């Protein structure tokens, strides 16, 4: 069994201080509450939970984009938060993210080639010619033709844009990719293609995925271990088959039960 590559220990994030009624007591709102997870190298680790349960907040903390209010996070041996530019660059090379909305994630004024090369400009000493070769090979990896290099985002479909975002995330050769609802904005038919692509890229490059989705069918396809988040806390965690097919918690059971009515791939639970 491989060593853990992401270690999350007792992590909480509090955003808001809410005033009580009649100027009474004030309470901090926990967005992420005492979460502990370990993700092993090479794993596809799934995080499920309804909207607002704190999944993206946890993802941003693991990316180092936000600081935990308490607890510890370690990513491939780097303790977060990082305190200098060198560590920040190492972290950025190690862990990349693919977001839900491929329309918001790409600069509309920037050609696709330049977007894919951007992390290479910032994180490597590669020359322009080398970056171009790399970008073209990444386009090939994500199943897009070379001519996309000179295209603008508006010329691409949502699925093509998400492929570009995946290529850009892979550019610095990360060990870990956080996928935050990467297919949720895409049509069902396109979702399957992008999921297949993510799965083959994971195998090809030996990547670790921290894969976030509210869609249990997607998690079922891709992940070997699953954690369930509810109102900021991880309430259940274990091997995919255990969590999805033999859930221990009522909440997970309800989640799975609701999913089976409109999704493929989730068998009816035994009573």
Judged by the rule CB under 6 A, the positions of this chain that interact with ligand ADP are 15-16, 31, 49, 51-57
CA dihedral 253, 258, 260, 261 (to 10 degrees): 150
Residues 6+ apart with CB under 8 A from 260: 266, 267, 268, 269
**Cβ-based nearer residue to ligand ADP, 62 or 138:** 62
CA–CA gap between residue 40 and residue 86 (Å, rounded): 25
**208 interface partner picked from Mg ion, ligand ADP, none, CB below 5 to 8 A per type:** none
CB of 137 to ligand ADP, least distance (A): 33
CB of 53 to ligand ADP, least distance (A): 4
Cα-to-chain-centroid distance, residue 236: 19
**64 interface partner picked from ligand ADP, Mg ion, none, CB below 5 to 8 A per type:** none
**121 interface partner picked from ligand ADP, Mg ion, none, CB below 5 to 8 A per type:** none
Q: Is 56 in the site for Mg ion (CB under 5 A)?
A: yes
CA–CA gap between residue 192 and residue 187 (Å, rounded): 9
Question: Binding-site residue total for Mg ion (CB under 5 A)?
Answer: 2
Contact 218, 227 (CB under 8 A): no
Q: Is 53 in the site for Mg ion (CB under 5 A)?
A: no
Contact 236, 254 (CB under 8 A): no
**17 interface partner picked from ligand ADP, Mg ion, none, CB below 5 to 8 A per type:** none
Task: Give residues in contact with Mg ion (CB under 5 A).
Answer: 55-56
């Amino acid at each position: 069994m491989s060593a853990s590559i992401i270690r999350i220990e007792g992590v909480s994030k509090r955003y808001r201080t809410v005033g009580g009624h009649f100027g009474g007591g004030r309470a901090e709102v926990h967005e992420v509450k005492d979460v502990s997870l370990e993700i092993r190298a090479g794993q596809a680790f799934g995080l499920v939970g309804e909207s607002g349960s704190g999944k993206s907040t946890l993802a941003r903390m693991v990316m180092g984009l936000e600081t935990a209010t308490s607890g510890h996070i370690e990513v491939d041996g780097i303790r977060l938060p990082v305190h200098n530019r060198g560590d920040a660059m190492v972290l950025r090379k190690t862990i990349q993210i693919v977001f839900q909305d491929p329309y918001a994630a790409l600069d509309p004024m920037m050609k696709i080639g330049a977007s894919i090369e951007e992390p290479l400009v910032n994180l490597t000493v590669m020359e322009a010619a080398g970056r171009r070769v790399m970008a073209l090979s990444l386009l090939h990896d994500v199943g897009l033709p070379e001519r996309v290099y000179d295209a603008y985002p508006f010329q691409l479909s949502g699925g093509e844009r998400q492929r570009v975002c995946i290529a850009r995330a892979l550019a610095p050769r990360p060990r870990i990719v956080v996928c935050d609802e990467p297919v949720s904005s895409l049509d069902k038919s396109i979702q399957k293609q992008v999921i297949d692509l993510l799965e083959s890229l994971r195998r090809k490059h030996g990547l670790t995925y921290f894969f976030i989705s509210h869609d249990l069918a997607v998690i079922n396809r891709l992940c070997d271990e699953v954690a369930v988040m509810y109102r900021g806390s991880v309430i259940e965690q274990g091997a995919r088959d255990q969590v999805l097919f033999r859930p221990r918690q009522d909440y997970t059971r309800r989640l799975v039960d609701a999913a089976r009515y409109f999704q493929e791939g989730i068998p009816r639970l035994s009573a």
